[in-house]
């Protein structure tokens, strides 16, 4: 209850002036969230504010209200609840998160892609977050409804709530692939010969909290039971989990708190369970900020026995990226060049499955150049420069896959096992 009051008053401060001073014809409305309404909403271009307790809040113009009525979507006008006693000046262009996706906006846009390209794209719910939001994967392939013997690559975004740009890059990648399939022969070749799995929002609860309460939130929303909240989802994977207290923390208040055991968090279980059903050849996990490409190990400063190939692929991606906008992403071993981490995504996917695994830290390159606050006008350029690297990694995966593909499923598993790094 306290949380709800805090929530309403905070939103009140933010939204009041929007109604009062800038867009006097706008109303904040709410609609029930159910499959019928979601389907209708997908076709309307509305300014979705947030989702709370099974309801979707929308900043609606008079025309939006007419459109909703025409579609028989019932709504309640909630504007009065969002007006504070004092109307301070606040400028908000399009909700608190601007062009960046909230959970509900991402859900809508992923569903819209799958609706528009049903032969190429499917939205798959791979698990629930702590607060019961869905963790969505966008699967892209030819014959997307079938499980074919094809190379597969996974792209993950937003383990860390405040890294909003890390949702946009994998989302835009999925959008790019389906929209260019028909006209771009290289895109068609890659999509026809692989399965591309995109999970743009691993930490939906954290992202919502970052948007509506505290922009710097990093962890998930686990109630640790001691007055602290959150586990660092990029410290909860099960390879060398809790290896030392340098690369993660046993203290619940820490920003790099690893939790009480490996894979305790449902968001990370969802990724683990997807891996157990697939046979991924490569992984990218997007984060921000630093503008670097990092590969294992992260738990130790030592090189793995695949150092050469990991660097080679990472450096190739870097070289493909730089010409696009002139931004150089240095490829480096995480534990050597960056800092130690244990229980992170890439140590696990490399350590357990032996596949090339990269953390791409998106721009900016430093704190003084903007840290987690990418400008909306930089979303597209950042995606553009990451595109050739993602395409390259899929191509690499296809090239390396045929030998395995010819063997039976059980032999494939065995081969995977023999690639395992100790």
Cis? peptide before 297, omega within 30° of 0 = yes
**Binding status of residue 311 toward ligand 0X9 by CB under 6 A:** no
Residue 220 touches which of Ca ion, ligand 0X9, Zn ion, none (CB < 5 to 8 A by kind)? Answer: none
| Sign of the C-alpha dihedral computed for residues 205, 381, 110 and 277 taken in this order | negative
Contact region for ligand 0X9 (CB under 6 A) — 14-22, 38-46, 333-341, 364-372? Answer: 333-341
Cβ proximity to ligand 0X9: between 205 and 344 the closer is 344
Which of 40, 47, 142, 315 forms a contact with Ca ion (CB under 5 A)?
Answer: 142
Which of 157, 298, 356, 364 forms a contact with ligand 0X9 (CB under 6 A)?
Answer: 298
Instruction: Name the residue whose CB lies closest to Zn ion.
Output: 287
Report the helix count and the strand count for the chain, using DSSP H and E. 13, 12
User: Burial of 42 by CB count in 10 Å (0-12 exposed, 13-18 middle, 19+ buried)?
Assistant: middle
Binding pattern for the stretch 349-368 against ligand 0X9, x by CB under 6 A and - elsewhere: ----------x-x-------
What is the distance between the alpha carbons of residues 204 and 267, in angstroms, rounded to a whole number? 9
Tell me the sheet residues that pair with 47. Answer: 59
Cβ proximity to Ca ion: between 134 and 141 the closer is 141
111: tokens are 């569903």
**Binding status of residue 347 toward ligand 0X9 by CB under 6 A:** yes
Q: Under a CB-based contact definition with an 8 Å cutoff, are residues 138 and 177 in contact?
A: no
Cβ proximity to Zn ion: between 90 and 338 the closer is 338
**Binding status of residue 88 toward Ca ion by CB under 5 A:** no
Instruction: Name the residue whose CB lies closest to Ca ion.
Output: 141
Three-class DSSP labels, 228-259: CECCCHHHCCCCCCCCCCCCCECCCCCCCECC
What is the distance between the alpha carbons of residues 40 and 28, in angstroms, rounded to a whole number? 18
Q: H or E stretch including 410?
A: helix 409-418
**Binding status of residue 333 toward ligand 0X9 by CB under 6 A:** no
Q: What number of CA atoms fall less than 13 Å from residue 392's CA on the CB side?
A: 16
Interacting residues with Ca ion between 164 and 223 (CB under 5 A): 192
Tell me the sheet residues that pair with 284. Answer: 155, 358
Which of 83, 90, 176, 338 forms a contact with ligand 0X9 (CB under 6 A)?
Answer: 338
- Residue 298 CB, shortest distance to ligand 0X9, in Å, is 2
Judged by DSSP in three states, 213 sits in coil
Give the number of residues in contact with ligand 0X9, rule: CB under 6 A.
Answer: 15
What is the distance between the alpha carbons of residues 138 and 38, in angstroms, rounded to a whole number? 18
**Is 105 part of the annotated catalytic residue set?**
no
Q: Pick the catalytic residue: 51, 361, 371, 385? A: 361
Binding residues for Zn ion (CB under 5 A): 160, 163, 287
- Residue 397 CB, shortest distance to Ca ion, in Å, is 13
Q: Just list the catalytic residues.
A: 361
- Applying CB under 5 A, the residues found at the interface with Ca ion are 141-143, 148, 192
């Amino acid at each position: 209850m306290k949380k709800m009051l805090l929530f309403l008053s905070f939103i009140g401060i933010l939204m009041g002036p929007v109604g009062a001073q800038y867009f006097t014809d706008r109303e904040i409305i709410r609609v029930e969230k159910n499959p019928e309404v979601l389907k209708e909403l997908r076709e309307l271009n509305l300014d979705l504010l947030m989702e709370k307790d099974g309801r979707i809040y929308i900043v609606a113009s008079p025309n939006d209200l007419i459109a909703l009525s025409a579609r028989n979507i019932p709504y309640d006008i909630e504007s009065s609840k969002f007006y504070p006693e004092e109307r301070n000046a606040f400028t908000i262009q399009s909700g608190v998160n601007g062009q960046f996706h909230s959970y509900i906006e991402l859900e809508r846009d992923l569903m819209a892609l799958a609706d528009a390209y049903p032969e190429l794209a499917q939205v798959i719910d791979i698990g629930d977050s702590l607060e019961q939001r869905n963790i969505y994967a966008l699967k892209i392939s030819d014959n997307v409804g079938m499980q074919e013997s094809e190379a597969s690559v996974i792209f993950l975004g937003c383990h860390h709530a405040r890294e909003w740009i890390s949702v946009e890059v994998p989302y835009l990648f999925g959008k790019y692939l389906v929209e260019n399939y028909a006209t771009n022969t290289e895109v068609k070749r890659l999509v026809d010969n692989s399965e591309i799995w995109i999970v743009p929002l691993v930490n939906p609860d954290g992202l919502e909290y970052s948007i509506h309460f505290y922009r710097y939130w990093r962890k998930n929303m686990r109630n640790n039971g001691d007055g602290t909240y959150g586990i660092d989802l990029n410290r909860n994977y099960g390879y060398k989990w809790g290896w030392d207290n340098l690369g993660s923390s046993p203290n619940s208040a820490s920003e790099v708190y690893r939790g009480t055991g490996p894979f305790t968090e449902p968001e990370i279980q969802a990724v683990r369970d997807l891996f157990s059903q697939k046979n991924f050849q490569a992984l990218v996990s997007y984060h921000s900020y630093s503008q670097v490409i990092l590969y294992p190990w992260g738990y130790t400063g030592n090189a793995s026995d695949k150092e050469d190939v990991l660097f080679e692929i990472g450096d190739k991606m870097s070289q493909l990226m730089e010409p696009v906008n002139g931004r150089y992403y240095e490829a480096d071993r995480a534990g050597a060049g960056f800092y130690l981490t244990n229980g992170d995504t890439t140590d696990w996917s490399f350590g357990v499955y032996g596949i090339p695994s990269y953390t791409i830290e998106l721009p900016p390159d430093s704190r003084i150049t903007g840290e987690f606050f990418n400008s909306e006008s930089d979303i597209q350029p950042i995606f553009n420069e990451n595109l050739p690297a993602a395409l390259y990694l899929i191509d690499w995966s296809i090239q390396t896959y045929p030998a395995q593909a010819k063997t039976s499923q059980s032999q494939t598993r065995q081969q995977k096992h023999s690639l395992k790094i100790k």
